[in-house]
Structure 1
């Protein structure tokens, strides 16, 4: 398995402000210097990178800049992350337009995977029809990705209608999209990440690794929280998954490169230990 890192740690995530009034423009964006991020990620020994759709879109009119940066660092653009509400009929066409744009850009820069999160929680509450709508939308995302030669996977996420294990089951039975377990979000949603990976082994298309501390709540570099990563990696291997492992840390109180270094050292030691057994 090859190791990659998400650029989110450099600046944290923001949404495109124009998306407040024009849904088609509501890209995610890591609010930092992507050239620094990629150089730091490569310097710490990672082989790949995941970028948000907005950060990739920043290079749409100057693709040679990103291509040269990937060449310089030796990094593979593994995946592009996007998301949407997916449950509102009126805004769905514009949301899917944006997902399609993300898929086109991912393919343009040689990515293998399209990762999506989403499924809005309504102020009035969530009902079963929202899961039906989300499932149908995610099947459309699969179609969009396949047209660009990409594999699509769904990332359960806090603040969406897919947080808990029961909510994950609702969407896994309603859509054929692949599963991208994010270890920290699954744990914070009340699940056991390793058990959920074992529950859906044939659906694993991508993996996000992140540590987690319940009290006080925090996402952390690998090995610094409460998660059982030896068991998580054992579950990933049992599933027959041999693709990219992407470390994704939303923010870090310090140099983001240091966080990447901490997670890489921990993951290298863990993988070496699993190989030697």
Structure 2
């Protein structure tokens, strides 16, 4: 498994510091928030000229948008940008509120994302749904409805541990086992019941979660989705150290006794 970081920044100085420090701390990739790339959407060459052509920098692009007609066209534009900067995937959050959403609405969103997902795959980009608190795929049954409606595997799943817990889904290992065939990305986030926390400082028991991930044979990204109030540099370093320990070979008792 490869380790990555997603961390909001609110000015150009912090963005540049994040881009400069992530590899030195031990991360192999970044999963960028929209504010970190969106001004370059129509100018991908300018993004590369400004920040370099390290594909780890753009391992994924996170988008939080609607699936109305205009939103779908914005997603298509993001696919073009992702292909140009050699991003592996778009991590897509459907920002519609969960209130009054029906199963039919969830299924229709899956079909829409499937159409764009097929187009994206032709350009070498994957589309991965990020479930989210107060978004259409929020409760445990929503996952079944959505992925039953996905066409030809055109949409993957980004599992976010913190959002699962916030949404009341406590058996995270079971969900991982159930959806292992479509999971293509993990956001590893800690939560204390009220706030996002640095990894290891919340209430999540990650040992069974990590074991469930290993059991599926997953080899992709584990991304620390770091949205605590921690300052940038400590957040980068703590997240990298925690993730490196998480993916290190596990001790075995074979041959002992």
User: What is the TM-score when the length of structure 1 is the normalising length?
Assistant: 0.81
Counterpart contact for 1:3–1:246, Cα < 8 Å: yes
CA distance in 2, matches of 1:198, 1:32: 41
Query: Matches of residues 216-255 of structure 1 in structure 2 within 5 Å?
Result: 217-252=194-229, 254-255=230-231
CA distance in 2, matches of 1:208, 1:118: 16
- Match status 1:143 vs 2:118: yes
Deviation at 1:119, TM superposition (A): 5.5
Q: What secondary structure is seen at the aligned counterpart in 2 of 1:227?
A: coil
Q: What secondary structure is seen at the aligned counterpart in 2 of 1:166?
A: helix
- Match status 1:204 vs 2:179: no
Deviation at 1:134, TM superposition (A): 1.3
Q: What secondary structure is seen at the aligned counterpart in 2 of 1:173?
A: helix
Q: What secondary structure is seen at the aligned counterpart in 1 of 2:181?
A: helix
CA distance in 1, matches of 2:96, 2:102: 11
Q: CA RMSD in A?
A: 2.3
CA distance in 2, matches of 1:189, 1:53: 23
Counterpart contact for 1:121–1:160, Cα < 8 Å: yes
Give structure 1 regions of 4+ aligned residues with deviation exceeding 6 angstroms: none
Distance 1:138 1:106, change over 3 A: same
Aligned twin of 1:188: 166
CA distance in 2, matches of 1:228, 1:84: 31
Aligned twin of 1:168: 143
- Match status 1:109 vs 2:85: yes
Query: Matches of residues 64-143 of structure 1 in structure 2 within 5 Å?
Result: 64-67=46-49, 69-71=51-53, 75-86=56-67, 92-118=68-94, 120-121=96-97, 125-143=100-118
Q: Which runs of 5+ in 1 are unaligned?
A: 12-29, 87-91
Count of residues paired in the alignment:
247
CA distance in 1, matches of 2:247, 2:209: 12
Counterpart contact for 2:98–2:135, Cα < 8 Å: no
Aligned twin of 2:5: 5
**Structure possessing the higher relative contact order (Cα contacts under 8 Å, 6 or more residues apart):** 2
Deviation at 1:67, TM superposition (A): 4.9
Counterpart contact for 1:67–1:109, Cα < 8 Å: no
Question: Which is worse superposed, 101-110 or 49-58?
Answer: 49-58
Deviation at 1:263, TM superposition (A): 1.9
CA distance in 2, matches of 1:120, 1:62: 28
User: What is the TM-score when the length of structure 2 is the normalising length?
Assistant: 0.86
Q: Deviations over 1:163-198 (max 9, x none)?
A: 111222221222242111011111111112222111
